[in-house]
């Protein structure tokens, strides 16, 4: 049930009322599994995350390590959380640790059971078809395309996502547009504050500034406020 999936650029750094509303539909103060890509970045960031989430009334944020200090019992019990949140961070390391901990099936089970799966930035990229857009920052287009199959993501949704699209310069966005000519699905570019809220796998609502790159073309989307 992809209707329980939300893909965001930087939530909750930029507050999005519609996402908060979906989260509170599970519980007034939902229990949230906060999953970072790696221990060395996640541990120091978690106290900051607690303050950010706490400012919006979410007090039940729990750190879930999938790298150096995984708690197998906590990860086995992900279905006990109302919300599974994949934080921002380096997406390739994130993918490695998700696969290492065999979490793909657990995420699917949580979504099917009605729990909410939310990704931000590098965490959001995990839910898509592929992570190659991240490599496009440092690797030329031809090499990225030739090696693309090695960087498949979880495929929970049917597109690729470019978070923080408003932070990139025109040459990079042109490279993303060229990349989109060679992939069989859309590339959705999300500015900070933007998100994709799924009603089903193929039916979704866009929030905030969104652009879709499709087969080399550009489709601006007027996302809801």
pLDDT in tens, 41-91: 999 999 999 999 999 999 999 999 999 999 989 999 999 999 999 999 999
What integer pLDDT is reported at residue 221 of this predicted model?
87
Domains belonging to the chain, first-starting first, are 2-222 (3.40.50.880)
Cα separation, 35 vs 37, whole angstroms:
7
Q: How many helices (H) and strands (E) are present in the chain, helices listed first?
A: 9, 11
Prediction pTM value: 0.96
Over residues 153-191, the pLDDT tens digits come to: 999 999 999 999 999 999 999 999 999 999 999 999 999
Contact 116, 76 (CB under 8 A): no
User: What pLDDT sits at residue 225?
Assistant: 58
Sorted by sequence, the CB contacts under 8 Å of residue 146 that are 6+ apart come out as none
**DSSP characters over 55-109:** HTT---EEE---SSS--HHHHHTGGG-SEEEE--S-HHHHHHHHHHTT-HHHHHH
The pLDDT, as a whole number, for residue 1 is 58
């Amino acid at each position: 049930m992809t209707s329980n999936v939300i893909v965001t650029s930087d939530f909750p750094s930029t507050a999005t009322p519609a996402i908060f509303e979906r989260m509170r539909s599970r519980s007034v103060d939902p229990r949230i599994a906060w999953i970072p890509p790696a221990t060395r970045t996640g541990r120091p960031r978690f106290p900051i995350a607690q303050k950010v989430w706490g400012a919006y009334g979410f007090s039940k944020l729990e750190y879930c390590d999938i790298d150096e200090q995984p708690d197998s019992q906590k990860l086995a019990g992900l279905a006990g959380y109302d919300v599974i949140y994949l934080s921002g961070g380096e997406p390739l390391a994130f993918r490695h640790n998700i696969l290492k901990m065999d979490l793909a099936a657990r995420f699917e089970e949580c979504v099917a059971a009605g729990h909410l799966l939310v990704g931000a930035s590098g965490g959001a990229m995990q839910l898509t078809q592929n992570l190659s857009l991240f490599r496009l920052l440092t690797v030329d287009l031809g090499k990225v395309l030739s090696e693309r199959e090695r960087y498949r993501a979880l495929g929970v949704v049917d597109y690729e996502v470019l978070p923080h699209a408003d932070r990139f310069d025109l040459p990079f966005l042109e490279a993303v547009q060229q990349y989109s000519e060679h992939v069989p699905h859309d590339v959705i570019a999300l500015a900070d504050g933007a998100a994709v809220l799924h009603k089903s796998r193929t039916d979704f609502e866009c929030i905030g500034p969104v652009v879709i790159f499709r087969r080399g073309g550009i489709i601006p989307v007027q996302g809801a406020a």
